[in-house]
A and B are shown apart, each in its own frame.
Chain A
């Protein structure tokens, strides 16, 4: 009789232990995606801070490109109004901003003086750096989300997850025209 009780207790401890262990691993993978998102957030803020400087620098050289500049400013302000919690909408606005920024990147080709401007060169490196970091942190976010989703959708996660209200994380879409963010290189 005593033996049965001991065996039951041991089994209960093992079950509880593995339950806690699995719960913790779900939380851990969820935190990875949060961390990846905060990386994205940092880059979005950084880019929004850089854009006014960029516009100021370009204005003096490219007077006839008012449209391109206002477009970038509009997109930037638009991005700032998107609620931060909405990841998909934020990224959609960010992708639009990336697109209109490419317009400014292209300007340097038609304005040699602008291209030669040292401050513009620095801003370009800074901006392409944030664009690349955005692309990479999005990649990190998505791969973390895959890990997390796999965990909660397969056994035994599919039993544990609903109990603690873990829900699927949606992936961030990459811009349709290319798999990666603009890979601009100004140093060749």
Chain B
């Protein structure tokens, strides 16, 4: 059941990643067409920007993400013996190498994992998590993070972060050149052009405006799906659903984090900002905690 779920998830993920990349190229074409009068130039630009971002992120995702979240590394067992031992335990059962361990100073309980592959992975927990959870609950949370590592969710999250960042950079470049004259040059040409060109131009601008929203929608859908899987895998490792369930309850009842990085929000075990679900489910990085607990209770 779980293995089927993992396989299905991998297939779905490649589909999502592919559409993510297509989205990026379409946005590149739109930016190019609207602001540089050449969609080909835009596509090339988009591909180059994406390649640079992905290379940088994949090369040093741990450094980048930990820096963004003000995490400091735990280098010695003596500093946090219980945490260190639990990470060791979970890495052992999951058969992944021991990841690097980081601490974020924040009284809200939360945790995340990042990295490129299990050999270059890291987990981070907040000081609030350590203060609030007992051993079984910590095991549940760490098991969830180690499952992200084992299932290669960390690499996907990393690439998704890079692509989202690339899209927002492209949109920025487009907007800037629009204000600095690219757009005006374009509109002069339109006087002798036909109405089809104008429609294309307006379409391009709409794509550029909607692009960041679409990108975060894809990123969120990607992340939501994987949380359920990581919850289930965590229980497979610890053989103890109660620990994770009470941990999630405690996390659900606590205050939001003071300073989490919004680009890496999807990496956390639970939404660090605890935004109200006022819009739709589409705009959340995580499934509602009650629903996750409900699924765990019925495993």
Chain A interface residues toward B at CB < 8 A: 39, 122, 125-126, 128-129, 132-133, 136-137, 139-140, 179-180, 183-185, 187-188
A139 and B136 within 8 A (CB) = no
- 6 A-B residue contacts at CB 8 Å? A125-B85, A132-B85, A136-B93, A179-B239, A183-B135, A187-B135
* Partner among B81, B89, B95, B135 whose Cβ is within 8 Å of the Cβ of A185: B135
Q: Is the interface of B mostly helix, strand, loop or mixed?
A: helix
In B134-151, which residues have CB < 8 Å from any A CB? 134-136
If A125-B85, A180-B240, A187-B82 touch, whether A133 touches B92 (CB-CB below 8 Å) is yes
**Interface core residue of B82, B134, B135, B240 (most chain A CB under 10 Å):** B135
Task: Verify if B88 is at the interface (C-beta below 8 Å from A).
Answer: yes
CB of A125 within 8 A of CB of B239, answer: no
Asked whether A140 lies within 8 Å of B136 as measured between CB atoms, the reply is no
- Determine if A137 and B92 form an interchain contact, defined as CB atoms under 8 angstroms apart: yes
Q: A139-B239, A180-B240, A187-B135 are in contact. Are A39 and B92 (CB under 8 A)?
A: yes
**Residues in chain B within 8 A of chain A (CB atoms):** 81-82, 85-86, 88-89, 92-93, 95, 134-136, 239-240
Task: Give the 4 A-B residue pairs with the shortest CB-CB distance, closest first.
Answer: A185-B135, A129-B85, A136-B93, A185-B134
Closest CB-CB distance, B3 to chain A, in whole Å? 12
User: What would 10 more interface pairs be, CB under 8 Å, given A133-B88, A139-B239, A140-B93?
Assistant: A39-B92, A122-B81, A129-B81, A129-B89, A132-B85, A132-B135, A137-B92, A180-B239, A183-B136, A184-B135
A129 CB contacts on chain B under 8 angstroms:
81, 85, 89
A136-B135 in contact (CB<8A): no
Q: Which of A128, A136, A183, A188 contacts B92 (CB 8 A)?
A: A136
Q: How far is the CA of A137 from the CA of B92 in the complex (A)?
A: 8
**Once the chains are docked, how many angstroms separate the CA of A24 from the CA of B88?**
29
